[in-house]
Amino acid sequence: MAGRHRPRQGARRARLPRHTRPAGVGHRRVLRRPVVRALADLHHRAGRPVSTAHPPDNPYGLSPTQAKALAEPGDFALTAGAGSGKTHTLTALVARDLIEHDIAPEDILVCTFTRAAAANVTARIEDRLRTLAPERSGQATLRLMCGTIDSVCGRLVAERALDLGIPISLTPGDERELVPLRHQAAALVLAELTPEQDEVLRTAFSPMPERLGEEIQAFHDRALRLRVDPHALHVPPAHPPTQAEIDEVIATIRKILADGRANARATDSFTSDLALLEAGRVMDTRGKPGRVIADLQPLLEDAKAGMADLKQRVIDSELRPAALAIAEALRLYDHHYRALKAQAGIADYTDIAELALRLSSLPHPRRFRRVYVDEAQDTSPLQMDVLIDLVAPGGQMIPVGDANQSIYGFRDADVSVFLDLVESEDMGRATLDENFRSQPAVLAGINALAR
């Protein structure tokens, strides 16, 4: 929610707004990025001054809305729109942990989305400590763990490499090393598929081997980040409709048409359905009439339900060979890609995250009393599982994000991960709904677009 305009806070430099969520707009509505950039650019060119009035007089320089976040006990999700002082509030929470709660820096983890963000957060925590507790500045920010999720996983895995049974030197390879291995694994898969499987996949995706290999790679990477084991994929058996079931639906439609009390739209729609059914085809059931005489409604509902069921079962039956072929291709690809990486002595970031997830099963796993997750709307299920496991018993988990700013779905970020936390009964909630960055006219324009 964009909220009301407020004086600018905390940030060292002004950043252009990405977008904000207006009142009454659902979490899952996401503005188109180019539109937001265009509005931000107009705002930038206008050169309108931003108010620099001092924030409320409190130790951390927080507005009343932001200060409420400091009062939240236990785990809580902080929803913060663009320009709402998210980083300002996040660094205040960390500083409060160090100063008032006397939490050791080693017991605090702050995960950010980029390395630049990690450096910015660390610098701003240091600024707060230098002002509020000079005796704690310097060493504290060096000892707390602040970085991207990938870098945090890498550091934690390296600490327990021997216990995990992996080489101490194992680190994520760069794309120049990994891309050839992916191509090689895909080529091995295509060589091992049966002619029938190969034909099904080429029909479903692409007749070109290179493109087909890329599709298999993309399916595999997404499956792992969504915590789907390629070796545990199950394709349920299909149950295509029998002729008797089709005849039953035909009889129901004939009864509706014979009744003569359905409106013209109903008659036209079901006449078309009947013709397709008798021709051996099953169609979509959208567009059925909603206004009919009350005593005819049960028949209509039966007919619509029957058509929908027949359609889905036909689709399931026709797609099952493709689903089976995809499942087999993913299993083969996972096997070959892991073997090739092991042979080369390198890993990718998904491997490191999976290893980090195993840390909790080791004796004396490292955990943190505070785990802050910035840009939580751009995490994957695998990453969030790792972070949840890193919270010490009695510790706090504080995801910070805004569902409207989730733009990394193409990298397998899943906004539902954050939304599930926000809506969890076990998680408290706090919201920053004031904007300290943009002029009211810009906020009004963005809010209108979001609606």
For residue 433, the model assigns a pLDDT of: 81
The distance of Cα 60 from the centroid of its chain, to the nearest Å, equals 32
Sign of the Cα torsion 391, 393, 398, 403 reads positive
Give the pair of three-digit tokens for residue 25. Answer: 């707009």
Looking at the DSSP bridge assignments, the partners of residue 111 are 147, 373
pLDDT digits (tens, 9 = 90+) for 407-417: 776 666 788 88
**Residue 48: pLDDT above 50?**
no
pLDDT digits (tens, 9 = 90+) for 179-192: 999 999 999 998 99
**Residue 274: pLDDT above 80?**
no
| Calpha distance 411→427 (Å, rounded) | 26
Classified as helix, coil or strand, 438 is: coil
Give the pair of three-digit tokens for residue 112. Answer: 């950010």
Looking at the DSSP bridge assignments, the partners of residue 23 are none
**Residue 341: pLDDT above 60?**
yes
Classified as helix, coil or strand, 395 is: strand
Give the pair of three-digit tokens for residue 123. Answer: 């610098």
CA nearest neighbour of 325 among 219, 411, 210:
219
The mean-pLDDT minimum among 275-279, 297-301, 328-332, 357-361 falls in 275-279
Write the CB contacts of 384 (distance below 8 Å, at least 6 apart in sequence).
Answer: 373, 376, 417, 421
**Residue 202: pLDDT above 60?**
yes
Average pLDDT over residues 384-391: 95
The mean-pLDDT minimum among 21-35, 242-256, 289-303, 373-387 falls in 21-35
For residue 30, the model assigns a pLDDT of: 38
| Calpha distance 256→43 (Å, rounded) | 60
Give the pair of three-digit tokens for residue 254. Answer: 């004939």
Using CB atoms within 10 Å of the CB of residue 281, give its burial: 0 to 12 exposed, 13 to 18 middle, 19+ buried. exposed
**Residue 447: pLDDT above 70?**
no
Average pLDDT over residues 289-297: 45
Of 30-34, 253-257, 398-402, where does the model show the most confidence? 398-402
The CB-based long-range contact list for 260-269 (8 Å cut-off, 24+ gap) reads: 261/292, 261/293, 261/296, 262/289, 262/292, 262/293, 262/296, 262/300, 263/289, 263/291, 263/292, 265/289, 266/292, 266/300
Residue type, 331: R
**Residue 360: pLDDT above 60?**
yes
Q: Considering just the CA atoms, what is the radius of gyration of the chain in Å?
A: 28
Q: What is the pTM of this model?
A: 0.68
For residue 37, the model assigns a pLDDT of: 41
